[in-house]
Amino acid sequence: MYKFISCTLLVAFHVSITEGNSPKYTYYDPYTLVELQCDQCPPGSFVKHDCTTEKKTECAPCPSNYFASEWNSHKDCQYCSNVCKELQFAKKECSSTNNRICECIGGFFLDIEFCSPHKECPPGYGVVQLGTPDSDAICSECPKGMFSNVTSSTAQCQKQTNCKKLGRKVLHKGSSTHDTVCKEEPAISCEIDVTLCEESLFRFPAPPENWIMTLIQRFSSTAVTLQQINKIQETHSVAEQPFYLFKLYKSQSKADDSFTPLLKDLKECEKGVSNLLGPLNLTTKNIMTLMRGLPGKHVRQEDIERTLKTCDRPKHLVKLLSLWRNKNKGNTIEGLKQLKMGQLPKVLRKRMKKLGQFLSGDSMYSLYQKIILEINGNQTQPVKMEVLL
Ligand SMILES: *[C@@H]1O[C@H](CO)[C@@H](O)[C@H](O)[C@H]1NC(C)=O
Ligand SMILES: *[C@@H]1O[C@H](CO)[C@@H](O)[C@H](O)[C@H]1NC(C)=O
Ligand SMILES: *[C@@H]1O[C@H](CO)[C@@H](O)[C@H](O)[C@H]1NC(C)=O
């Protein structure tokens, strides 16, 4: 008697958790011939005993390797499928509520019965829909302006390089199978054809009239030819000629001892510029802002980036100013005067102002006078080029 009660309690408990919301199934009691609405059994179990007028349905859990994924009225659970096929892995193992789920490994899809590799799109074609474990990849011909140079089941067509946007010329036109190739740009040289000091010297009031003649006379002791002099006179304005003649003279006079003190003075001046620009710790953004703040035509962003990559500091700033000067046939001192400083960090504003003052200041003028005297053959005292930071 006691045993019977305990058993009834167990069944009553089992039913109570599903009571009210479990789906029903119709069952004819073979003894009473009464149509009953029995509770179904929840996923993971099966019907061990149908209900009677007295008792609710009795469910039992699926044995191992069997499953029931739905509410059901079955008398047993389903057997889980065998191990997965070749090139498949078990995405979900067998449990009491689900069958083992097999899926093709990466790069394969189920093609009727077997896992086949995803289609590879040949050059000229790109993947427009990636393959899945159940479906193949879809290829499509690259549209105009796009290319694919690989055989791949995943690569899409890519945009052809736009040389014009990069400010470069086309070397080889692109096709659906090849990218456009742009002409190489000449490598950036960090050398500066016109240093800030050299440029500044020749911004002072025109040298004496006979100066060009004097310079030319001094050339007779060097390897400079009349042709070189003529070329400068043909290609540069009268105002710029002394400057380029001087540069030519300088380049040919390296071994000329009488000229060395002058070059030393110029070096001192360059050192002053380096000191002004050297210890600055600028971000690329600072430098971009500086270059955008100069008047006239802007130096192209790629050229700025290439310079920053190629040239050590502080040479990179001097080189950038020189690029601006060449682009604008400009006057750097004047450019610095018109520089829009609003967005620049304070330290940079200060230095740029100082640089402008230095390049047009008293010590630069002394240097200028000295050079004229020296070229005229007069001995002079050294000029102090000091920059106070
Ligand atoms: C495909 O094109 C890219 C971009 O031009 C290039 O870098 C790559 O080397 C090319 N690959 C082949 C296999 O030609
Ligand atoms: C320059 O700035 C960067 C980042 O702002 C910092 O990591 C670096 O130490 C600084 N260098 C000097 C020399 O101040
Ligand atoms: C040297 O300088 C003096 C005065 O500064 C001047 O009188 C003289 O003509 C100069 N010499 C030459 C060779 O130019």
Q: What pLDDT digit, counting tens, does each position of 76-127 carry?
A: 999 998 788 889 999 999 999 999 999 999 999 999 889 999 999 999 999 9
Q: How far is the CA of 303 from the centre of ligand 1 (A)?
A: 25
Given a cut of 50, whether residue 3 has pLDDT beyond it is no
Q: Looking at the DSSP assignment, which residues form a beta bridge with residue 45?
A: 61
- Per cent of the chain over pLDDT 90 is 39
Q: Is any ligand 1 atom within 6 A of the Cβ of residue 270?
A: no
Q: Which residues have any ligand 3 atom within 6 Å of their CB?
A: 376-378
Under 8 Å between Cβ of 195 and 251? no
Q: How far is the CA of 149 from the centre of ligand 1 (A)?
A: 6
How big is the chain, counted in residues?
389
Same fold, 2-79 and 106-185: yes
Given a cut of 90, whether residue 360 has pLDDT beyond it is no
Helices (H), the chain: 2-16, 196-201, 211-219, 226-235, 241-252, 260-277, 284-293, 301-310, 315-328, 332-338, 346-359, 362-375
Q: Whose CA is nearest to atom 5 of ligand 3?
A: 378
> What is the C-alpha R_g of the chain?
44
Report the distance separating Cα 180 and Cα 176, nearest Å.
10
Report the distance separating Cα 386 and Cα 389, nearest Å.
10
Mean pLDDT rounded to a whole number for the chain: 83
- Lowest-pLDDT range, 16-20, 193-197, 256-260, 300-304? 16-20
pLDDT band at residue 259 using 50, 70 and 90 as cut-offs? low
Ligand nearest to the CA of 278: 2
Report the distance separating Cα 275 and Cα 270, nearest Å.
9
Note the pLDDT tens digit of each residue in 158-181: 999 999 888 788 999 999 999 999
Ligand nearest to the CA of 381: 3
Give the residue from 32, 35, 48, 26 showing the smallest Cα distance to 15. Answer: 48
The DSSP line for 153-208 is SSPPPEEPP-TTTTT--EEE---SSS--EEPPPPPPP---SS-HHHHHHTTSS---
- Choosing from 210, 217, 366, 378 the residue with most ligand 3 atoms within 8 A of its CB, the one to mutate for a pocket test is 378
Q: Is any ligand 1 atom within 6 A of the Cβ of residue 149?
A: yes
Under 8 Å between Cβ of 372 and 213? no
Residue keyed to tokens 């790069």: 107
Q: How far is the CA of 306 from the centre of ligand 2 (A)?
A: 21
Q: Is any ligand 1 atom within 6 A of the Cβ of residue 179?
A: yes
Q: Is any ligand 1 atom within 6 A of the Cβ of residue 150?
A: yes
Note the pLDDT tens digit of each residue in 277-331: 877 778 888 899 999 999 999 998 888 988 988 888 778 888 999 999 888 877 8
Q: How far is the CA of 288 from the centre of ligand 2 (A)?
A: 18
Work out which ligand 3 atom sits closest to the CA atom of 376: 14
Distance of CA 150 to the CA centre of its chain: 23
- pLDDT, residue 261, reads 67
Work out which ligand 1 atom sits closest to the CA atom of 150: 13
β-strand pairing of 78-79 with 88-92? unpaired
* Domain spanning 106-185: CATH 2.10.50.10: yes
- pLDDT, residue 221, reads 59
Report the distance separating Cα 321 and Cα 335, nearest Å.
9
Q: Whose CA is nearest to atom 7 of ligand 1?
A: 179
Q: How far is the CA of 159 from the centre of ligand 2 (A)?
A: 37
Q: CB neighbours of 286 closer than 8 A, spacing ≥ 6?
A: 344, 345, 348
Report the distance separating Cα 93 and Cα 133, nearest Å.
17
Q: Whose CA is nearest to atom 12 of ligand 1?
A: 149
Q: What's the whole-number mean pLDDT along residues 49-55?
A: 92
Work out which ligand 1 atom sits closest to the CA atom of 178: 2
Q: Whose CA is nearest to atom 1 of ligand 1?
A: 149
Q: Whose CA is nearest to atom 1 of ligand 3?
A: 378
Q: How far is the CA of 281 from the centre of ligand 2 (A)?
A: 6
Q: How far is the CA of 279 from the centre of ligand 2 (A)?
A: 11
Fold of 2-79: Tumor Necrosis Factor Receptor, subunit A; domain 2 (2.10.50)
Work out which ligand 1 atom sits closest to the CA atom of 161: 5
Q: How far is the CA of 378 from the centre of ligand 3 (A)?
A: 6
Note the pLDDT tens digit of each residue in 177-232: 999 999 987 777 888 877 888 888 777 665 566 666 766 676 665 666 778 888 88
| Buried-state track 293-309, b at ≥16 Cβ within 10 A, e below 16 | bbeeebbeeebbeebbe
Domain ranges of the chain: 2-79, 106-185, 196-373
pLDDT band at residue 41 using 50, 70 and 90 as cut-offs? very high
pLDDT band at residue 130 using 50, 70 and 90 as cut-offs? very high
Q: What's the whole-number mean pLDDT along residues 353-367?
A: 86
Q: What's the whole-number mean pLDDT along residues 25-34?
A: 89
